[in-house]
Structure 1
């Protein structure tokens, strides 16, 4: 079992012989180029999947090819829209999409909780904000990214796995007509777990 370590915008998992490490690092250098800076609305860096795929399509197919891609949505609403519930649902899904060599799931769960912790603050801030008759509405987004490199089962190749978990929170507090009665509160968490498998040749280099 190997542990995850944070490296250049990804939590990185490597289980490779020394002669394939260089190719893995080249994949990492390519992927890091597509981690885009935070925007004003969500304050979170995001992985540009479209740009990354275009870059891969422009590579020599003998050196790197896409072996598969999955996009798994996880929506939560109301009382279920908590970070702890979302992390549990992600952990039920994500390890099955990563390498068969087991990743330390307790560490992954801790890292996810840490990455998404301030989404819980979104609910607290939203509940505090907004006097009677005032609309309170907030959005927040966080992304957790993993890059894995494992043997591909054939000489001189490795399997690279790029994964992102993007969680978006939306809080809306609406007062009732005339400010009477309890306000209507809407809480939503939506996650998208995206995973791409790559077959990478030993001699792959990232075109800068």
Structure 2
């Protein structure tokens, strides 16, 4: 019997009236899932930069750039993205956190100034992404995936520019899309991590 995982989420997009989140507030989404696998196996998957392209509807392809031979602080990779609203675009990611079997984090910049920032600046990224792993006493792993948007301009900024009076709605819609994509990524990682090892021949 397959037991569906329980997903818990927290985010800064309010689900009640009276509050609002604007781009300048740094909207964020966080999703968690329990994976019935040791942290070493989960870590192997989350640090495989090509894996999200297999699981996300937006990210199409990823490759290392510069002298990077694998995940480490300072390594960079380029991502090729596509959705129906923005079309195709590229990003460059800089790994800024790398704690073995605990934390994997990277910041994203736009290499071509498409969204209005003329020079990419890792100190002011268009998004900051993070995986956190927490082992439990039963040998499983709590996997947390999070993103913070801004402060640099992004594709979301272009949508806000076109209808500034609806900024809160535009931000909330984008956060919902990101949440769905992140859930899909976590589900995919869980499935792969929990697959039984192939029997030796």
TM over 0.5: no
Of Structure 1 and Structure 2, which has the larger fraction of its residues in strand?
A: 1
- Alignment TM-score, normalising by the size of structure 1: 0.32
Larger RCO, structure (CA 8 Å, separation 6 or more) = 1
